[in-house]
Amino acid sequence: NDVLSQLVAAIGSGGVEVVDLTQTLSEATPVLVLPPEFGQCAPFSREVISRYDERGVAWYWSNFTVCEHTGTHFDAPVHWVSGKDLPANSVDTIAPADFVASAVVIDCSAEAETDPDFLLDRSHIEAWEAAHGPVPARSWVLFRTDWSKRDVDAYTNRREDGAHTPGPNAEAVRYLIEERDIIGFGVETIGTDAGQAHLLTPPYPAHTLLHGAGRYGLQCLENLDRLPATGTVLVAAPLKIENGSGSPLRVLALVAK
Amino acid sequence: NDVLSQLVAAIGSGGVEVVDLTQTLSEATPVLVLPPEFGQCAPFSREVISRYDERGVAWYWSNFTVCEHTGTHFDAPVHWVSGKDLPANSVDTIAPADFVASAVVIDCSAEAETDPDFLLDRSHIEAWEAAHGPVPARSWVLFRTDWSKRDVDAYTNRREDGAHTPGPNAEAVRYLIEERDIIGFGVETIGTDAGQAHLLTPPYPAHTLLHGAGRYGLQCLENLDRLPATGTVLVAAPLKIENGSGSPLRVLALVAK
Ligand SMILES: Nc1ccccc1C(=O)C(=O)O
Ligand SMILES: Nc1ccccc1C(=O)C(=O)O
């Protein structure tokens, strides 16, 4: 098939670049912190099994513990109560074709720099569309905030009243689902929702509306500043955890040079 | 870019099928068992954090523990002592372009059915090449044995003297690296090496030679019988674990219909 051999040739020649959008997963990877009455997400931890030593003479390997939602990760519809009863709502049952899709990037880095609680509204998307054309159906919308360039304290940006990080409002999410039929919404922050999204209507509009409509989330992305506004192909394939609500994953962007 | 928009269109129309080569990851996923004097690989286990309950009113999620080499997984060069000092030898430092590559399938399911200790030799590869042409440079070689269709006892096939499962011999691996410059070798069994490969020269020739040459391994693949002999594009992107020796991953094959 032409397109497949052309793809491999273009990657080999550099005509298509493979950009890694993934945070390094380590003991230092920041995780979501919820109010103390709720169960908490495990940070990444590991135990070395052997390292070319008496525990394994020629091999190095580790066991590790992690949350389904630690580091760069994928959210499946079953993660949220609104998606609880949908078909194919867990990472092991989603159609594999959904793991390879187009992506657009909406750059709100200037707005998020001056306002950490910046909310993406329908009007911002419409302004983006006036310049770039409509968001294509079955596309990822990637929300660039340059949050991934912050050091860890400014990245989590926690204060007494919780995290202050940007996200979309309900109207923006509804527009992308109902009028643009997006496959999912991807962000640089921890959570597709803003840090203060428990105060919005509905609370957590991205989680509630996306997953209720069978759409996906991607969190803790990097290198969105290396992507064009349109034309990227995103490869985002979560681990096949039985009935999994999400998983850490490697997210790759294929970009024409 | 033409090739990227054509790829998305072909996936949408079914002209390119996305075939999932991944085992479901669960508490039942079989793992490698080494002699008892060595450290052991953890099976998959999990703890539910909340399930739309008082531990998290609107969300379901879990923490999980797993080995870097449990279930369908990727082996990086640093996994083996022969690859210990190579550059870019861990899952977080490998060039992302290596995660998207062509693949060929060598079907030895008939041989493996009659001989569980079947060893792929250079002559089998040469016979395959007489029919299909040379293995392309920077390709994955996928070794089809239909092992993934077996039930769990026949799959691990453990006896008193260890596992009896097929694999390549040293000459086959050397040929693929030195004369064909493959990117890696993928199998349906647990381990790129045969179950009795500790008795070969060198011991574990696939691990020793592949990783010593900076090449990769893929294990516990399924659905190789759904792939053509040539022309597949394989997407195999491990988690970005800092200094990781490998990781469970989702392996996708793009196949022309
Ligand atoms: N916002 C949340 C609230 C509760 C549980 C998880 C989240 C996430 O953002 C997540 O999916 O990482
Ligand atoms: N054969 C082995 C011996 C020791 C450690 C690991 C292995 C694997 O096969 C693996 O990579 O899963």
> What pLDDT does B179 receive?
98
Tokens of B203: 């011991």
Residues B198-226 have pLDDT tens digits of: 999 999 999 999 999 999 999 999 999 99
Residue B1 has pLDDT above 80, yes or no: no
Contact A39 B19 (CB under 8 A): no
Residue A215 · residue A185 · CB < 8 Å? yes
What residues pair up with A248 in beta bridges, in sequence order? A73
How far the first Cα of chain B sits from its last, in Å, is: 22
User: What stretches of chain B adopt beta strand conformation (E)?
Assistant: 16-20, 45-53, 56-67, 73-75, 100-107, 119-120, 140-144, 158-159, 162-163, 167-168, 184-187, 216-219, 232-236, 246-248, 251-256
Residues 6+ positions from A89 with CB-CB distance below 8 Å: A76, A77, A78, A83, A211, A214
Put simply, whether the predicted model's pTM sits higher than 0.95 gets the answer: yes
Contacting B residues, span 222-241, partner chain A, CB-CB under 8 Å: 231-233, 235, 237-241
Interchain proximity A17–B97, CB inside 8 Å: yes
At B35-91, the pLDDT tens digits run 999 999 999 999 999 999 999 999 999 999 999 999 999 999 999 999 999 999 999
Ligand nearest to the CA of B163: 2
Active site residue B132: no
Closest to A250 (Cβ–Cβ): which among B56, B233, B238? B238
pLDDT of B181: 99
Q: Which of A24, A62, A82 sits opposite B68 (nearest CB)?
A: A62
Q: Which two tokens stand for residue B209?
A: 């030679």
Beta bridge partners of A236: A251
B53 is a domain residue: no
Active-site residue identified among B69, B79, B207, B211? B79
Domain count, chain B: 1
Residue A232 to residues A7, B78, B207, Cα–Cα distance (Å): 13, 32, 35
For residue B17, which residues of chain A lie inside 8 Å, CB to CB?
Answer: 97
* E strand or H helix at B170: helix B170-174
Q: Which domain range does residue A166 map to?
A: 14-26+68-256
Residue of A69, A73, A79, A207 marked catalytic: A79
Q: How far is the CA of A81 from the centre of ligand 1 (A)?
A: 12
Looking at residue A1, what is its pLDDT?
58
The reported pLDDT for the residue numbered B75 is: 99
What CATH number is associated with residue B153?
A: 3.50.30.50
* Cβ atoms within 10 Å, residue B216: 27
Is position B236 within any domain? yes
Question: For residue A140, which of A171, A107, A170, A99 has the smallest C-alpha distance?
Answer: A99
Tokens of A256: 């024409």
Report the C-alpha gap between B79 and B207 in whole angstroms: 8
Mean pLDDT by 10 residues, chain A (257 residues): 93 98 98 97 98 98 98 99 98 98 98 98 98 98 98 97 98 99 99 98 98 99 98 99 99 98
CB proximity under 8 Å: A 27-86 to B: 34, 37-42, 44, 46, 49-50, 52, 54-69, 71-72, 78-82, 84
Nearest CB partner across the interface for A39, out of B22, B44, B50: B50
Question: Pocket around ligand 2: residues whose beta carbon is below 6 Å from it?
Answer: A 59; B 32, 34, 69, 75, 79, 191, 193, 204, 219
Domain-located, residue B105: yes
- Which residues of chain B have a CB within 8 Å of the CB of A239? 25, 248-250
Q: Give the gap in angstroms from C-alpha B114 to the nearest C-alpha of chain A.
A: 31
* Chain B: closest CA distance from residue A175 (Å): 22
User: Searching chain B, which residue's CA lies closest to the CA of residue A28?
Assistant: B242
- pLDDT at position A234, please? 99
Interface test with A, best of B1, B55, B80 (most A CBs within 10 A): B1
Q: What is the pLDDT of residues B138-193, one digit of tens each?
A: 999 999 999 999 999 999 999 999 999 999 999 999 999 999 999 999 999 999 99
Residue with the nearest Cα to atom 9 of ligand 1?
A: A191
Measured between beta carbons, which residues in chain B are less than 8 angstroms from residue A235?
Answer: 100, 235, 237, 252
- Which residues line the pocket of ligand 1, CB cutoff 6 A? A 32, 34, 69, 75, 79, 191, 193, 204, 219; B 59
Helix axes A2-13, B2-13, angle to 10 degrees: 140
- Taking contacts as CB-CB distances below 8 angstroms, the residues of chain A near B10 are 1, 3
- Write the DSSP assignment of A158-186 as a string of letters: EETTEE---EE-HHHHHIIIIIT--SEEE
Does a structural domain hold residue B63? no
Relative to the CA of B219, which ligand 2 atom is closest?
Answer: 12
The pLDDT assigned to A75 comes to 99
To probe the interface with A, which of B13, B45, B49 has the most A CB atoms within 10 Å?
B49
| Interface contacts (A, B; CB < 8 Å) | 269
> What is the whole-number distance in angstroms between the Cα of residue A191 and the centre of ligand 1?
6
Q: Is B1 a domain residue? A: no
- Kindly list the residues from chain A whose CB atom is less than 8 angstroms away from the CB atom of residue B23: 240
β-sheet bridge partners, residue B162: B159
Look at residue B34 and tell me if it is in a domain.
no
3-state secondary structure at position B233 = strand
Strands A246-248 and A232-236: unpaired
